[in-house]
Amino acid sequence: MKKIILLIVLFSPVFGLANPADSLKYTDALALPVIGKGFTETQNRYERLPLHLEGVTREPVWNLSKHSSGLAVRFRTNSTTIAAKWEVTNDAVMNHFAMTGIKGLDLYCYQNGKWQYVRTARPTGKESSAVIIENMQGTEMEYMLYLPLYDGIEKLEIGVAHDSDIKPPVVNSPQTGRPIVFYGTSITQGGCASRPGMSYSSILSRMLNRETVNLGFSGNGQLDYEIAEAMATIPAACIVMDCLPNVTLQQINEKYIRFLDILREKHPKTPIFLVENINYPFMYFDQQVYLNINEKNKALSRIFKEQKKKGDKNIFYIKADNLVGDDQEVTVDGIHLTDLGFLRMAENLYPMIQKRIK
């Protein structure tokens, strides 16, 4: 009996093995550049709104701004292994959203002039540790580590082999300086991508080789004027307005034009894209939802035409028709997109945005 127990202890992976991530040397990500931030003066580094909006913007918006959606750490290393240790602020859990998307990390490598997915660091709780990739050749390459979509980062360290270096990037990709700014809802924020790199704004960032700023606030993309004022300070290449799922018809009629006017005061010629509410699969069964979405899209179309009549030559309209396809197979729950939905949305937005930011 004792021999059997001993064999179980010796051969079981559960017993007696150290975490391989602990054998590496770690660098605090504070020493490396972060892309995707629209504002430098944030309360903590991995947040999305400027500090001066604390107590000004609505509390739900402020709390959601602490989620690190769209942010990524850039670095280069010659390590054969890359790992991470990270602590999230909330340890969020949802019944329709993969943990890897909520609070995981996503590693990409720059290869042959484009970003290639490597692997995802899977979270285990509020504090996590994971070897993301190992057994690489050890040549120096550029990397991008996307941060969680629906949780914040309290602390982040990147681990590499002891005989290797980790340094700031040399390649400016995605190109920084004039980002594409996205404003919107839970879908904009990235719900419910399986991993951080699959939100549609991040997919577009890689497709366009352009830094993007994600100002999606789950359930709270409600045309708050102070958010427009903050957005107007970003030297944007273009602005994508994707907030219709969170606003009522009354809010569209009362607030949308003023929100645009605030942006136009600082961005008189910047391309602005107005995106319709995507077509939810269940709206073809729920008659009230069908009516509501169509009314909101009609109101947005009217606003677009009014702005064009006023002489705005740099405002563009994106219809929901086929934006995420027409097979009704792109959501987790009838509303929030899967990776397939986000990829289709990015692919359909790409030619329109690419044409206007050349």
Q: Is beta strand 272-275 parallel, antiparallel or unpaired with respect to 315-318?
A: parallel
65: pLDDT strictly greater than 90: yes
Measured between alpha carbons, how far is 358 from 351 in angstroms, rounded to an integer? 11
Phi and psi (nearest 5°) for 228? Answer: -60, -40
Measured between alpha carbons, how far is 58 from 56 in angstroms, rounded to an integer? 7
Q: What percent of the chain has pLDDT over 70?
A: 94
Tokens representing residue 198 in the block = 């699959």
pLDDT of residue 19: 67
Residue 147's closest CA among 67, 208, 207? 67
Instruction: Report, as an integer, the average pLDDT of 2-15.
Output: 41
Which residues are 133's β-sheet partners? 82
What is the tens place of the pLDDT at every residue in 9-31? 334 444 334 567 778 999 999 99
pLDDT of residue 22: 75
Measured between alpha carbons, how far is 240 from 215 in angstroms, rounded to an integer? 10
pLDDT of residue 12: 41
Task: State the DSSP H helix or E strand holding residue 6, giving kind and residue range, or none if neither.
Answer: helix 2-11
Task: Enumerate domains of the chain plus CATH numbers.
Answer: 20-167 (2.60.120.260), 175-356 (3.40.50.1110)
Q: Do residues 143 and 85 make contact, with C-beta atoms less than 8 angstroms apart?
A: no
Which residues are 242's β-sheet partners? 184
What is the tens place of the pLDDT at every residue in 208-239? 999 999 999 999 999 999 999 999 999 999 99
Instruction: Report, as an integer, the average pLDDT of 34-50.
Output: 98
SS3 172: coil
What is the tens place of the pLDDT at every residue in 233-277? 999 999 999 999 999 999 999 999 999 999 999 999 999 999 999
pLDDT of residue 18: 57
What is the residue-wise DSSP string for 185-208?
Answer: SHHHHTTT-SSGGGSHHHHHHHHH
pLDDT of residue 98: 97
Tokens representing residue 79 in the block = 């390590």
pLDDT of residue 7: 41
Q: Which ranges in the chain belong to alpha helices (H)?
A: 2-11, 59-64, 99-103, 186-189, 200-208, 225-231, 249-266, 287-309, 339-356
Measured between alpha carbons, how far is 241 from 315 in angstroms, rounded to an integer? 11
Phi and psi (nearest 5°) for 108? Answer: -125, 150
Task: State the DSSP H helix or E strand holding residue 118, giving kind and residue range, or none if neither.
Answer: strand 114-121
Is pTM beyond 0.85? Reply is: yes
Over the chain, what is the mean pLDDT?
Answer: 94
301: pLDDT strictly greater than 80: yes
pLDDT of residue 23: 85
Q: Do residues 81 and 159 make contact, with C-beta atoms less than 8 angstroms apart?
A: yes
